[in-house]
């Protein structure tokens, strides 16, 4: 243990939060590259683990380190920017944790839910910046985390933008012809046979 066990505990909790964010981000690329689609099912659990550790990290800082002294908390926010960045990352993680169940996907709709969960990328970047700003000497671990996050972002960009097949343009004349035929069939005058 270090001279300050509270600081050691707090840093370990934050480190695990960032590790779980990175593992969550890496789940889809690993499942696609190695053709292991079943790994996607674990992504929600991994994301909740990352939120759990981030919440513990923040709670440890406020309750154990500051002992619920809100004046010290406000002073830390003003003096140390990395604390503000970390709190922003945790606040952004909260809606992801809240909306991680199937009911919320139905309530929000799939597209809105997917857009909301893209917040994981800025959260990861904020987490790494929080780590960089907090560390004073050894930048090796935050540098490794940043390299992994950038690689995952590059993979996502390559997968969704570069290799995405463009949609074929819809031939409007064909669509108009189909609609016209449909209208003619539905609007045909009906002949009623008279029974004489």
Distance separating alpha carbons of residues 130 and 98, to the nearest angstrom: 23
pLDDT per residue as tens digits for the range 181-191: 555 545 545 55
pLDDT value, residue 136: 83
Domain map (residue ranges) of the chain: 5-186
SS (H, E, C) the chain: CCCCHHHHHHHHHHHHHHHHHHHHHHHHHHHHHCCCHHHHHHHHHHHHHHHHHHHHHHHHHHHHHCCCCHHHHHHHHHHCHHHHHHHHHHHHHHHHHHCCCHHHHHHHCHHHHHHHHHHHHHHHHHHHHHHHHHCCCCCHHHHHHHHHHHHHHHHHHHHHHHCCCCCCCCCHHHHHHHHHHHHHHHCCCCCCCCCC
115-161 tens-digit pLDDT: 999 999 999 999 999 999 998 888 999 999 999 999 999 999 898 88
Neighbouring residues of 50: CB distance < 8 A, sequence distance ≥ 6? 17, 18, 20, 21, 23, 24, 93
| pLDDT in 10s for each residue of the chain, 196 residues | 457 888 899 999 999 999 999 999 999 999 999 999 999 999 999 999 999 999 999 999 999 999 999 999 999 999 999 999 999 999 999 999 999 998 998 999 989 999 999 999 999 999 999 999 998 888 999 999 999 999 999 999 898 887 876 665 555 655 565 555 555 545 545 555 555 4
- The pLDDT of residue 193: 52
């Amino acid at each position: 243990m270090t001279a300050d066990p509270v600081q050691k505990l707090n840093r370990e909790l934050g480190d695990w939060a960032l590790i779980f964010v990175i593992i969550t981000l890496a789940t889809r690329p690993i499942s696609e590259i190695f053709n292991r689609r079943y790994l996607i099912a674990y992504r929600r659990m991994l994301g909740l683990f990352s939120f759990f550790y981030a919440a513990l990290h923040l709670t440890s800082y406020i309750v154990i380190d500051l002992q619920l002294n809100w004046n010290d908390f406000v002073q830390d926010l003003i003096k140390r920017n990395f604390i503000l960045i970390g709190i922003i990352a945790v606040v952004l993680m909260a809606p992801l944790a809240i909306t991680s169940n199937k009911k919320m996907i139905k309530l929000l709709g799939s597209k809105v839910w997917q857009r909301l969960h893209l917040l994981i990328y800025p959260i990861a970047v904020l987490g790494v910046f929080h780590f960089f700003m907090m560390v004073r000497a050894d930048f090796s671990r935050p540098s490794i985390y940043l390299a992994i996050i950038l690689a995952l972002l590059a993979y996502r960009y390559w997968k969704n933008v570069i290799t995405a097949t463009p949609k074929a343009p819809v031939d409007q004349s064909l669509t108009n012809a189909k609609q016209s035929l449909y209208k003619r069939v539905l609007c045909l005058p009906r002949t009623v046979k008279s029974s004489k």
